[in-house]
Amino acid sequence: MNKRAEHYKERMHEGIHRYYLQIFLALAGIPVGIAVGAAAGLFGLGTDYIAAFRSGHEQYLLPFLAAGGLIIVFVYSRFGGICKKGMNLVFEVGLGLENRIPLQIVPLAIGATWISHLCGASVGREGVAVIIGAAIAHPLSRRLRIPAASRIFLITGMVAGFSGLFGTPLAAIFFGLEVLAAGSLEYRAMLPAITAAFAANATTRWMGLARFHYDLPQSVVLSYPTALKIALLGLIFGTIGLLFAYCIKHTHQVVDRIFPDPYKRIGILGVLLTVLLLICFKGRYAGTGSNLISASFFGGTVFWWDWILKMLFSVLCLSAGFMGGELMPIFSIGASVGVLLGPVFGLPAEFAAALGFTAVFASATRTFLSPVFVGAEIFGYDNVPYFFLVCAVSYFFNAEGPIYLLQRSFTVRDGTEESLI
């Protein structure tokens, strides 16, 4: 009887300790979110200012693309160290291949991205926000004796950076929980991720960082014919996401093989990209692609070749070594395809653009819940069933793998978890 009482007492103490730990992690997410949100807010405001300054002056700034790239390579070569790995370093820490993210990666990544955007590189910005969050939050794990502290605080920082920049806290939470290992959610980081996401979002809102939101004007009745159309669109968007991931992976390899010297790589490709970007509508495909997103939802002109050229320039810029990210170009590619396909499928153009916005993201990153909530938080929760369906089809259609080279995929077979990559 005494042994049984001791057993129950021990289990009770373990339960209480577990609850205290979860409360502590949840509270710890708040200052992490505020700190990361402040850094992400400054980065986002600076990027918006640079984009506004570059708008209309591409013909004067694009000729400096190669020079800007050479500056980036020089600074990273001189001061970067392992920071040169960029987003791959975050994944390496998450997978236990590295044990730290140097804090100097924050100013390096911000400065390199600002230079890239100023000179017109066709890159995004979310990668830097995620890097900022991971670099700020992860060092806390070394001060705490908590199981899986490294992975928990890494994810918490990533979530805060994503949420602060995009203003989509729920999407950010699921992005952090599922991006390191597709098909598996890291529930241990959920509570601090939740508090950090909302704290970061509140911080950047207070700072006045603009975020994209669009209320879809036309409702679509969910029926079997409509569901079939959405599923077919999911196949198309999944193919485009697969194509983007394939091009990113293999273009990196080809470019690295042809130009092993990073200076020659970014210098020669920078000159080539300058000429091509100036020829193609005087910089229409420079920057994040927000111009294509605006055109897709606000009645602008979208050409059938826009998504192809945007993908081409984004892949080349990222492969050359310019800093930023892939998601904003992916959003613009998906929206510009969707707005063209909507009328073909008998669906409202803006509605199909929203489907493309989310589904290409799902396919290219091999994440599912995050794209669904991106759609809900940007376009309205009434459309969640449509985003769920199109993202499900798109997610499973990409057999090539994600844009993140070190992301792992898991499946459960015979009660055990097996890596697919």
Angstrom CA distances, 263 to 74, 84, 256, 322, 370, stand at: 8, 14, 11, 12, 36
What is the model's pTM? Answer: 0.91
Percent composition of the chain: helix, strand, coil (DSSP 3-state, to 5) = 75, 5, 25
Mean pLDDT within 308-328:
93
Burial class (CB in 10 A: 0-12, 13-18, 19+), 359: buried
pLDDT at 283 over 90: no
- Res 356: pLDDT: 97
pLDDT reported for residue 282: 75
- The pLDDT of residue 153 is 92
Burial of 176 (0-12, 13-18, 19+ CB in 10 A): buried
Model pLDDT, residue 418: 43
pLDDT at 208 over 80: yes
Percent of the residues in the chain that have a pLDDT greater than 70, as a whole number: 90
Average pLDDT over residues 41-46: 96
Q: What whole-number distance in Å separates Cα of residue 76 and Cα of residue 185?
A: 33
What mean pLDDT value characterizes the chain?
Answer: 88
Q: Is the pLDDT of residue 413 over 50?
A: no
At 48, the pLDDT band (50, 70, 90 cuts) reads: very high
Q: What is the pLDDT of residues 379-391, one digit of tens each?
A: 999 999 999 999 9
Strand order of the sheet with strand 416-419? 181-182, 408-413, 416-419
| pLDDT tens figures, 132-145 | 999 999 888 877 77
